[in-house]
Amino acid sequence: MKKTKDKNENLAAYYFHQGTSDAAYEYLGCHLKKQKNGFLYTFRVWAPNAEAVYLVSDRTGWEEGTPFLRLTEKGIWECQLLSAESLEGAAYKFRICSAHGAALKGDPYAFASKGGSDGASLITHPSSFRWEDEAYLTQRKKQAEDEGGLYASSPLNIYELHLASFRRHENGDYLSYRELADELAEYVRYMGYTHVELLPIAEYPYDGSWGYQVCAFYAPTSRFGTPDDFRYFVNELHKVGVGVIMDWVPAHFPKDAWGLYEFDGQPLYEYQGHDRMESRSWGTRFFDLGREEVQSFLVSNALYFLREFHIDGLRVDAVASMLYLDYDRMPGEWIPNQYGDHRNLEAIAFLQKLNERIDAAYPDALMIAEESTAWGGVTHAVKDGGLGFDMKWNMGWANDFFRYLSVDPLFRRYHHSALNFPMMYAYNEHYVLPISHDEVVHGKKSFLDKAHGSYEDKFATFRAALMLQMSFPGKKMLFMGTEYGPFSEWDYKKSLEWFMLDYPPHLSLREFTRALNGFYLKTPALWEQDFAPLGFAWVLPDEAEKNAVAYRRFDKEGKEILALISFSGTEQTLSFSLPYKSYVVVFDGQNYQNGKEYKAENGVFHITLAARGALFLAPMEPVTL
Tell whether 81 is covered by a domain: yes
CATH of the domain at 40: 2.60.40.10
Residue 576 has what pLDDT?
Answer: 97
Backbone angles phi and psi of 328, in degrees to 5 = 60, 30
Tell whether 475 is covered by a domain: no
CA distance 308 to 79: 25
Tell whether 439 is covered by a domain: no
CATH of the domain at 547: 2.60.40.1180
Dihedral sign for Cα atoms in the order 457, 492, 483, 508: negative
CA distance 216 to 220: 8
Tell whether 23 is covered by a domain: yes
Residue 588 has what pLDDT?
Answer: 94
DSSP letters of 376-431?
TTTTS-GGGTS---SEEE-HHHHHHHHHHHHS-GGGGGGGTHHHHGGGGSTTTS-E
Please, is 5 exposed, middle or buried when counting C-beta atoms within 10 Å of its C-beta (0-12, 13-18, 19+)? exposed
Select from 122, 143, 167 the last residue of a domain: 122
Q: pTM of the full predicted structure?
A: 0.95
Contact between 152 and 531 (Cβ < 8 Å): yes
CA distance 298 to 358: 12
DSSP state at residue 82:
E
Q: Which one, of 308, 175, 176, lies nearest residue 229 by Cα?
A: 176
CA distance 60 to 41: 13
Tell whether 548 is covered by a domain: yes
Per-10-residue mean pLDDT of the chain, 625 residues long, equals 60 95 97 93 98 91 89 96 94 96 97 94 96 96 82 96 96 97 96 98 96 97 98 98 98 97 97 94 96 98 98 98 96 95 97 98 97 95 97 96 97 97 96 96 95 96 98 98 97 96 97 96 97 97 98 97 98 96 93 84 95 96 63
Tell whether 545 is covered by a domain: yes
Select from 73, 103, 122 the last residue of a domain: 122
Tell whether 155 is covered by a domain: no
Residue 561 has what pLDDT?
Answer: 98
Host domain of residue 551: 534-619
Residues acting as catalytic residues: 317, 370
CA distance 281 to 328: 7
Contact between 178 and 166 (Cβ < 8 Å): no
**521: CB partners within 8 A, 6+ apart:** 155, 157, 192, 194
Alpha carbon distance, N-terminus to C-terminus of the chain: 81
Select from 122, 140, 164 the last residue of a domain: 122
CA distance 618 to 559: 9
Residue 470 has what pLDDT?
Answer: 98
Per the structure, the count of domains in the chain is: 2
Q: Which one, of 535, 530, 526, lies nearest residue 586 by Cα?
A: 526
Residue 390 has what pLDDT?
Answer: 97
Tell whether 404 is covered by a domain: no
CA distance 304 to 121: 17
Angle, CA 159 vertex, CA 156 and CA 160 arms, to 5°: 120
